[in-house]
Every structure is written in C-alpha cells, then in structure tokens.
Structure 1
Amino acid sequence: MNWQSGLVKTILEPKNLIISSEIAVVIADKYPKARHHYLVLPKEDIPSIFHLNKTHIPLLEELHLLGRNIIEVRGKEISDFQVGFHAEPSMQRLHLHVISKDFISHSLKTKKHWNSFNTDLFVTHDKLCHMLEKENSVQRLPKTLKDQLLATPLKCNQCEFVAKNMPTLKEHLLDHC
C-alpha cells in the first residue's frame, strides 16, 4: 500500500478510531498541522472530492456532524476551527479536515502546508455542498491558479501580519495563544 492510501490502512485499525458511526469515522491526523487536527472519513470508498455529486450531500452532512462532535468532545468551540476539504487532496479517500485555527504544530513546516489550509486551496464544507448543489460536481483547479495559491504570501489567519518565512509565522502565531 503506497503512502497516498495510508488513510485507508489507518481506519481499518479500530484503535485509531476516535468516533465512529455506521457511515463514517473520525481519526487524529498523524501529522497534525495544529493543536487539534482530525480527519473524518466515510466508510464508503470515495477517492476524493472529484468523485462527488449532489447525491453525496447527505454523506457530507454526516461527516460535518461527526466533525462538530469531535470538537464538542474535546471541549472546544466550532468557531475556533476550520472544517473543510483540500481542493487538491494528496491522500486517497475523501476526508474532511477539522483543524483548530491556532496552527501550532511541529508538523507545520512548509509554505505549502500553510497555504493548503489558508487560501482557496481549502474548501469549506458549506462551500463544497453549495458547489455540488449548483454544479453536481467539483472540478480541479487550473494549474496556474493552484500555483498562484501555493505562492501566496504567508499571511496570518488571525490578523494582518505577513511573515517572510515559516519560522517567523510560527513564532507570530504563538502570540495569538
């Protein structure tokens, strides 16, 4: 099994499941990019957002409900989290990210990591459902747009600060805690 299908292997081991329903499971991200970073995956084998249509909206609602549940179980507020999908997923199996906005983590190392959660490379649950309702599918971003988003300056997600590099941004993020 290659690294891209590592999520499938992870959800097959019951010890990794934090919350489970008949439809989906919640696991901790193995390489969290924030203090709280969870993945909600359907049990159904759906490779990515590009395999969804409007008939999947009830499934997405169930994923979102489980995401809200993990936030509640951890005693946190949903307003302190981003809940959504990567527009350019690197891992196979559809998965919803439930990630705290603090982005305090040793695993947050690159500009790509940051921009994958803090630009239009991150599609909120609501936006994805709206896209499916309207278009009945999700299209890949044009390469030029993807490259432009990846090159976006490192702007703090909580204020107007723009960092020159990741160490500077990570140091700045600590000021918000």
Structure 2
Amino acid sequence: MSKRNYKSNNESSSLAKQPKKHWSLGLLDTMKDPKYVYKDSERVVVIKDKYPKAKVHYLVLPREQISSIFSLNKTHLSLLEEFGTFVKDIRQEHKDADIVAGFHAVPSMHLMHMHVISKDMISDCLKTKTHWNSFTTKFFIPYEEILERIRNDGAVKRISDETHKQLLAMPLKCNQCEFVPKNLPILKQHLLTHNS
C-alpha cells in the first residue's frame, strides 16, 4: 500500500510540474469558451478578442488546425470564402462602425486567425506603437488580398525580418486623417475627435 501511495504522489508531483501552455496557444482555449464565442459554423468560430484594440474587434478562426496564413493553399479557398461571409455578417450587425478585416503579416498567435476590427481604434488595450502599427500599416494585410494571393498563387509569402521591423517602427499617423502625433497618448486623444 505504501508503494501505491508513493507512486500516486510521484505521479501528482509530475503533473504539477507540467509546463504551462505558451501564451501564443491561447486562441485554442478561447475558441472553446462560450463567453467569448460570438458566432460559429461547422468550420469557423468567431470570438471576441480578449484584448480588443477598437470598439469592435473579433477574431475569425478555423476549427481545422491551420497554424498560420503561411499554411494556406488552394484547398482552403472555400474556408476563406466562409471567413468573408462572417465579415459581411459582422458589418451588417455593426452598421455604425467602419470595419476592416485582415491578417497580420507576422502572426504572434498560433492558429491562423483573421482580425475583424473597427477603424476607431478606441480601446484601453491599445497601449503601444507596435499595437497601432500592426493594424494601420501594410503589416495588416486585408482579407481580400490574402484571398487573391491564395486564388492566384496558392500561397502567402513571408515578409522579410527587415520589412517586419520597418513596418512596426513606422512613425505614428492617424488612420482617419493626416494628423501626425508626437506619441500614442496624443494620438489616442485625437482619435476621440473622430468619434464624437
């Protein structure tokens, strides 16, 4: 009996030592959490972004384990077209918002996902220049462009590390007018003038 107890204690201590999931895998759990699921279908799940960067911010994900946009090929065309159907629905439901849909050129999260986000960019979660530039420069690839690349080329090519750094380091500029702020707090204050 003592051997049995020893074994189970050993097993439980090895379970406690299991490494936590890396933050980049967080979408896998979020898409199963009913409080975040906005709508879904057999192949697609739309979730509310846990850290929204605008008043409207959703993520559209496949149920299939597709790691990133670089794993897409022509067999995924109908899936991507279904993504577009969800974008239309979200635009219909948020008629007062100017909504864009697209993918980050260098995704930070595991599992391919598309952002559907309003251009107001009003959010307490928008905290860094990197956040801003990831949605307002060519780092944010429009949905229609990704769809065309898959239709025509059957693949999405990676951008270079240099281009990646340049895009995220670009000077701040309002995404709704020509205003160039000195810093992000000034930009955030300015954005409110577009939404008053």
With normalisation by structure 2, the TM-score equals 0.85
Structure 1 position 68, deviation (Å) = 2.1
What is the alpha-carbon distance in structure 2 between the residues aligned to residue 70 and residue 126 of structure 1?
Answer: 16
Quick one: which of 95, 99, 113 aligns to 1:76?
A: 95
If asked which structure has higher relative contact order (CA below 8 Å, sep 6+), I would say 1
Q: Which runs of 5+ in 1 are unaligned?
A: none
1:134 shift after superposition: 2.2
> TM-score when scaled to structure 1?
0.94
- Aligned residue in 1 for 2:173: 155
| 2:182 paired residue among 144, 164, 175 | 164
Contact kept? 1:26, 1:67, Cα under 8 Å? no
Structure 2 counterparts to residues 2-21 of structure 1, below 5 A: 2-21=22-41
Match of 1:57, SS state, is helix
Partner AA of 1:12 in structure 2: K
In structure 2, how many angstroms separate the alpha carbons of the residues matched to 1:88 and 1:68? 25
Provide runs of 4+ in structure 1 moved above 6 Å: none
Cα RMSD over matched residues? 1.2
2:108 equivalent to 1:90: yes
Whole-angstrom CA distance in 1 between matches of 2:65 and 2:96: 30
Shift of the alpha carbon at 1:54? 1.9
Larger CA Rg, structure 1 vs 2: 2
Bigger shift: residues 102-111 or 61-70: 61-70
- 5 Å-filtered alignment, 1:18-57, equals 18-57=38-77
What fraction of aligned residue pairs are identical, expressed as a percent?
53
Deviation at 1:9, TM superposition (A): 0.5
